[in-house]
């Protein structure tokens, strides 16, 4: 597809399909399914893709699917676009026509939007491929169970991105206006692991700590020494923090207990620090415990890594968004200490996740994801389709050696400080009015 045609082609496609995509989103919103039970969702996506002449393959566990668009095996690696499709075990407290019909389950993280955007992107790219205007292969990954988390690991285990050169995703951002996106080079979401230290000793009378092991004192040392020592052993730029949330020991003021436990989380924005943390903590726990003669048992439960956006991939998103939205629509995305299982893909292949603004411009209401009243301004859906489709075309264009729109990758800041293009300007034009029947989450 010629560069100059893209904006017009996208506008024409969205004029014909925007209403369908919004209806698709509302249908998913009314029928949310939690991780690994997204059977209806998977079926709905598959049927629509098949109707467009595509051949989706459902993942081995029965939910989520992968579909390739354009190219052939000989064309080599593909560019992957990923959406997560699962909902949360939260009661939907909104009063909208598309309120959840599944008790206690709600699309409160916007994955219904992600899914609809990726479907629209796929339909657009399929049309381009049929017209011989797709210069490479694009793989759509409709991933289950992001919130569990772990769906990304199933996709990886199924070889879902083994022949993929780059991977892209988006996530709703209710703090950013619909019509805008947020990008960032470097870590955009954090690792979040669980840590539990259990101490054991003989127990005894508080009158004679020297004849037993003063377990509560040792536990106090673990609580204060571990975060302090970590802050001196790990690069302070890594954003690593160990914070305790639970501590328990003892049952009487004059008895030293024989066991005690402390639990907390390790959050981290740096991949190498995240990899180093468990072994380092193990050494520290053992050395503190041995001084006081107690036995320590560390349980370190890994969750998602930090999601580290690669500079070139992020520059591709910025260039694509600049083409289809304009530079005023691109903002700097802040870092989040929340987790995102897209990070697992980024451990294998370069890629980038951007934020899709979902707030109604001018709204004074503050929404956050994972809240029971979370909703979006649905004009974000066509915005997402435009940026995703343009990003895919940019990436495969670059991959196949045709005119790349990445003119100055070097301007992408490798430490993620300055990649914003322009401030979050007012007056970004959204594509069309709200659709009939939409109850806006907050009017301007
Ligand atoms: Zn979530
Ligand atoms: Zn999410």
Mean pLDDT of 303-330: 97
Mean pLDDT of 85-111: 97
Q: How far is the CA of 364 from the centre of ligand 1 (A)?
A: 23
Q: Which ligand lies nearest to the CA atom of residue 114 in the structure?
A: 2
What CA–CA distance (Å, rounded) separates 401 from 384? 26
User: CB–CB of 178/383 below 8 Å?
Assistant: yes
Q: How far is the CA of 369 from the centre of ligand 1 (A)?
A: 7
What CA–CA distance (Å, rounded) separates 161 from 429? 35
Under DSSP, the state recorded for 29 is H
User: CB–CB of 218/228 below 8 Å?
Assistant: no
pTM: 0.83
- H-type helices in 131-240, by residue range? 151-157, 215-233
Mean pLDDT of 123-139: 94
What CA–CA distance (Å, rounded) separates 209 from 169? 57
What CA–CA distance (Å, rounded) separates 184 from 190? 13
Q: How confident is the model at residue 364 (pLDDT cuts 50, 70, 90)?
A: confident
- Listed residues: CB within 5 A of ion ligand 2: 109
- Which of 184, 171, 127, 158 is closest to 62 using CA atoms? 158
- Which of 386, 413, 423, 397 is closest to 312 using CA atoms? 413
Q: How confident is the model at residue 233 (pLDDT cuts 50, 70, 90)?
A: very high
Determine the straight-line distance between the first and last CA of the chain, rounded to whole angstroms: 37
Q: How far is the CA of 146 from the centre of ligand 2 (A)?
A: 7
Q: How confident is the model at residue 2 (pLDDT cuts 50, 70, 90)?
A: low
Contacts of residue 321, defined as CB under 8 A and 6 or more positions apart, other chains included, come to 181, 183, 329, 330, 354, 387, 390, 391
What CA–CA distance (Å, rounded) separates 285 from 302? 17
Q: How far is the CA of 266 from the centre of ligand 1 (A)?
A: 18
To which residue do tokens 């380092």 refer? 280
| pLDDT given for residue 76 in this prediction | 66
Q: How far is the CA of 341 from the centre of ligand 2 (A)?
A: 9
Percent of the chain with pLDDT over 70: 87
To which residue do tokens 């780059």 refer? 166
- Which of 268, 265, 416 is closest to 332 using CA atoms? 416
Contacts of residue 183, defined as CB under 8 A and 6 or more positions apart, other chains included, come to 309, 314, 317, 318, 321, 330, 331, 332, 333, 352, 354, 355, 419, 420
């Amino acid at each position: 597809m010629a560069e100059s045609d893209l904006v017009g082609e996208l506008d024409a496609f969205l004029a014909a399909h925007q209403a369908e995509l919004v209806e698709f989103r509302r249908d998913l919103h009314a029928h949310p399914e939690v991780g690994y039970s997204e059977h209806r969702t998977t079926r709905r996506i598959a049927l629509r893709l098949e109707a467009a002449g595509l051949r989706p393959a459902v993942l081995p566990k029965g939910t989520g699917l992968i579909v390739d668009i354009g190219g052939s095996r000989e064309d080599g690696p593909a560019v992957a676009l990923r959406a997560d499709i699962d909902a949360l075990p939260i009661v939907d407290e909104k009063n909208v026509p598309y309120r959840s019909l599944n008790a206690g389950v709600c699309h409160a993280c916007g994955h219904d939007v992600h899914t609809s955007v990726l479907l629209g992107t796929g339909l657009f790219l399929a049309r381009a491929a049929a017209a011989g205007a797709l210069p490479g292969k694009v793989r759509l990954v409709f991933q289950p169970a992001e919130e569990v988390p772990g769906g990304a690991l199933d996709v990886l285990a199924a070889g879902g991105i083994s022949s993929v050169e780059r991977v892209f995703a988006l996530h709703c951002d209710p703090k950013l206006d619909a019509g805008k996106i947020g990008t960032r080079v470097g870590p955009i979401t954090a690792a979040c692991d669980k840590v539990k230290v259990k101490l054991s000793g003989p127990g005894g009378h508080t009158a004679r700590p020297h004849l037993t092991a003063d377990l509560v004192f040792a536990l106090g040392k673990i609580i204060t020494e571990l975060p302090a020592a970590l802050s001196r052993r790990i690069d302070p730029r890594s954003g690593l923090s160990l914070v305790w949330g639970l501590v328990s020991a003892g049952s009487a003021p004059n008895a030293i207990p024989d066991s005690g436990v402390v639990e907390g989380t390790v959050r981290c924005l740096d991949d190498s620090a995240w990899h180093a943390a468990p072994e380092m903590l193990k050494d520290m726990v053992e050395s503190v415990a041995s001084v006081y003669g107690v036995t320590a048992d560390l349980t370190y439960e890994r969750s998602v890594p930090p999601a580290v956006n690669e500079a070139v991939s992020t520059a591709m998103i910025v260039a694509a968004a600049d083409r289809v939205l304009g530079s005023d629509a691109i903002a700097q995305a802040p870092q989040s200490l929340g987790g995102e299982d897209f990070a697992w893909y980024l451990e294998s292949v370069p890629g980038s996740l951007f934020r899709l603004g979902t707030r109604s411009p001018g709204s004074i209401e503050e929404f956050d994801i994972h809240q029971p009243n979370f909703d979006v301004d649905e004009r974000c859906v066509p915005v997402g389709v435009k940026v995703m489709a343009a990003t895919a075309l940019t990436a495969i264009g670059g991959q196949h050696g045709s005119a790349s729109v990445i003119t100055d990758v070097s301007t992408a800041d490798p430490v993620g400080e300055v990649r914003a293009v322009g401030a979050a300007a007012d007056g970004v034009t959204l594509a069309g009015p709200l659709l009939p029947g939409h109850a806006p989450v907050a009017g301007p």
